[in-house]
Amino acid sequence: MLSKTRKTSRRSFVAAALLMAVAAPQLPAAAAAATPPAPAPSAAEVPAPATGVPLGTKTLHLVDTARQDPWKPSAGHRELMVSLWYPALPSRGRPAPYASKALSREVLGTEAMASVRTHAVDGARRAPGTRPLVVLSPGFGLSRLTLTALGEDLASRGYAVAAVDHTYEAPVEFPGGRIEKCLACDTKEYGAVVRNRAKDLEFVLDRLTGPGSELRVDPRRIGVAGHSIGGASAVEVMREDRRVGAAVNLDGNFFTDPPAGGLNRPVLLLGARRSTLAEPRENWEGTWKRLTGWKRWLDVPDGGHMTFTDVPWIIDRLGRPDTIPPEDVEGQLGSLAAARATAVTRGYVAAFFDRHLRGRPSPLLDRPSAAFPEVTFMK
């Protein structure tokens, strides 16, 4: 298991470094002084969601007073930041920025991501109706903002969506401009990361399904999806919390085992190159046999570990610096175009939740599709 842990940790940290390198090429001091400032990038926009439904967004600062922070006990109670997206009433408000200038500087080294436009209006009034809820968990070392395109798309299809930042596992900005850095990035205890994230997600579910929730959700229709270790955490919280009815793992190795008797709720495994890479395939094979409910294993042979996040289109719009080691680019981004990466992720995640939270079967999950030739059915 140790070798698997090392390989997965490298995938995670390379992914984080890839995002941080997008707008921060390293130049020798003399060259930097002699190089004129680069022009500001033209306005970029999150890929348009599936529908034109008006969207709203809110940011929550949550404090779990029942739990001490596992990564920084001196900080006291566990604090989380959460982004919400939801169908909204029409509004004249401006769409929220993708990131604040301060968080963009922390993640990228520049303010470039603060100019990226989203499609959701901050604080817009909710459209009437009770919604199924989907909670999103990002990769280790990555901000929740890297799941914005998926979150907005699901909201445009009628879901209430919440993306969670797991504090001290990535740069996280709190009200007032306080930014907490990644304190857990050197850990090798990935099982502990998964179990802690499951507790984070359960706490968020408590808040969003309880009195005074900012969303109106159906507690009988809850799904969780995540990227990388966030995907393993999505399956873990479904194991721990009966409220979770369906889970999606986007290319994340498992570090905890389902119960010996099996996990009998729906699971979608959507990965990259797991049909050809021995270690990632072996990792999922070990868990597959213990998933005893509805399950599907899909592979994107031309994809990379970051295919299922916003990173491909961020790089597509803001550029990829030469400082990224060539040997890491293929594994992280693959050869799949950014627009197709977004379409694949959105299409299959929505089809899965539509089937299992709304009872709307989709042939997309039953057989290969001419609309998505990039996707291979493994099991």
Instruction: Give residue 101's identity as a one-letter amino acid code.
Output: K
Q: What is the pLDDT of residue 36?
A: 34
For the segment 240-268, the average pLDDT, to the nearest whole number, is: 92
Q: What is the pLDDT of residue 64?
A: 97
More confident residue, 271 or 258: 271
**Which residues pair with residue 295 across a beta bridge?**
267
Q: What is the pLDDT of residue 41?
A: 39
For the segment 99-126, the average pLDDT, to the nearest whole number, is: 92
HEC string for 295-331: EEEEEECCCCCCCCCCHHHHHHHHCCCCCCCHHHHHH
pLDDT digits (tens, 9 = 90+) for 333-374: 899 999 999 999 999 999 999 999 999 998 999 999 999 999
The helix (H) or strand (E) run that includes residue 94 is: none
Architecture (CATH level 2) of domain 2-16+58-377:
3-Layer(aba) Sandwich (3.40)
Query: pLDDT class for 252, splitting at 50, 70, 90?
Result: very high
What angle is formed at CA 23 by the lines to CA 50 and CA 163, rounded to 5 degrees?
A: 40
For the segment 131-142, the average pLDDT, to the nearest whole number, is: 97
Question: Number of H helices and number of E strands within the chain?
Answer: 10, 13
d(CA 303, CA 336): 5
**Which residues pair with residue 83 across a beta bridge?**
59, 163
**Mean pLDDT in the chain?**
87
Query: pLDDT class for 324, splitting at 50, 70, 90?
Result: low
Reported as half-sphere exposure (CB side, CA atoms, 13 A), residue 30 has a value of: 0
More confident residue, 261 or 353: 353
Q: Strand runs (DSSP E) across the chain, as ranges?
A: 55-68, 77-87, 95-97, 117-122, 131-137, 160-165, 172-173, 179-180, 217-227, 246-250, 267-272, 295-300, 376-377
Query: pLDDT class for 322, splitting at 50, 70, 90?
Result: low
d(CA 330, CA 323): 14
- SS3 state of residue 276: coil
For the segment 201-213, the average pLDDT, to the nearest whole number, is: 96
Residue 311 has φ and ψ, to the nearest 5°, of -55, -45
Q: What is the pLDDT of residue 43?
A: 60
Q: What is the pLDDT of residue 25?
A: 28
Q: What is the pLDDT of residue 251?
A: 97
User: What region does 323 belong to: left with phi over 0, alpha with psi -120 to 50, or beta?
Assistant: alpha
Q: Of the candidates 258, 255, 345, which has an alpha carbon nearest to the alpha carbon of residue 293?
A: 258
Contacts of 222 (CB under 8 A, 6+ apart): 132, 133, 134, 135, 205, 209, 243, 244, 245, 357
pLDDT digits (tens, 9 = 90+) for 12-37: 444 454 554 443 322 222 222 333 33
More confident residue, 7 or 68: 68
Task: Examine the pLDDT at 267 and tell me if it is beyond 80.
Answer: yes
